[in-house]
A = this chain, B = another copy of it.
């Protein structure tokens, strides 16, 4: 454990408490809508219904919030990260282009949130360099949208835990196999997902490897045999030469005009190859969309992020390793304003 009282360390320690992300809005006496991203929100009381949040003494909007009769709390959904960033920055017309509704006390309400609480500005308490605002909830609404989460200075996905998760499920024989084995889950996921795709590929008389080869060739105009091998090595065992030959014979792939004698031959999709590739890719995407809809967009995004991280963990030398690893910009939600 690190121990100190450096303000940065203190912030980091506070950031270890995960929170949702909210935007609090109100309207200034001159009619200007105001709003800011806040993660210091929390519930206080059921009866009367009270919630609270904290605003920095130095915030330009403090005098307006102090005098407002009402303000509204918007609990952001998983797909509102951009909105969170927009309201975390100072200045500019944060409301430009947004669909707004009119709330109690003429407070501007944002749409597409997980929950909204319209509050009477009930109490204000001293809180060091912040003021604690306690509001009486006079109206609320909510949806089942997945939440935006903030943790450790970054946005996060919240994925439901199952009761008993992580506990062994069967134990007939000491040391026996478990259906919770990661390799088994990956195998089943891959097999069942492709089981549905395979019927579509069969219509085009393509197998898995041919599907991947054509798909890979949609990413670049031309590739050498060595490049194709590299691109497919993560998913295909051995040399791609037989697959490439089959696609050349079928007229889906052609050798590109030779640029220089010293270069290895390069291959690209023919018009027929492009058309076939686009048909199967669009079928594959439709299948993916259907699965994502059933799984939920937020869980699907979390699953993809974790699979990418798994690939890096299995093979740190993979071309995918470390991708997207840069730290998120501080958006101000690490503190209440």
Contact = CB atoms under 8 A, between A and B. Distances in A.
A17 B22 contact: yes
A66 interface: no
Interface in A226-262: 234-237
Chain A interface residue number, banded: 35 or more
Given A149-B149, A185-B304, A46 B324 contact: no
Given A162-B325, A303-B310, A190 B192 contact: no
A311 interface: yes
Mostly helix, strand, loop or mixed at chain A's interface?
mixed
A294 B281 contact: no
A281 B14 contact: no
A218 B168 CA distance: 14
Nearest to A166: B301
Query: Which of A43, A126, A187, A303 is most buried by chain B, counting CB atoms within 10 A of its CB?
Result: A43
Q: Please give the count of copies of this chain that the complex contains.
A: 2
B284 A313 contact: no
Given A43-B17, A181-B285, A192 B234 contact: yes
Given A159-B302, A305-B159, A311-B192, A17 B16 contact: no
A164 interface: yes
A11 B46 contact: yes
A220 B173 CA distance: 8
Interface string A289-312: 001101100011111111111110
A104 interface: no
B187 A44 contact: no
Contacts of A208: 187
Given A155-B161, A220-B172, A40 B40 contact: no
Contact of A42 (B5, B17, B141, B314): B17
Contacts of A93: none
Interface of A: 1-3, 5, 7, 9-14, 16-20, 22, 40-52, 54, 75, 81, 114-115, 117, 123, 125-130, 132, 134, 137, 139-143, 147, 149, 151-152, 154-166, 170, 172-173, 175-177, 179-194, 196-197, 208, 212, 215-216, 218-221, 234-237, 274, 277-278, 281-282, 284-285, 287-288, 291-292, 294-295, 299-311, 313-315, 318, 320, 323-326, 328-329, 335-336
The 6 closest A-B pairs by CB, nearest first: A45-B128, A177-B215, A162-B324, A176-B218, A1-B141, A294-B313
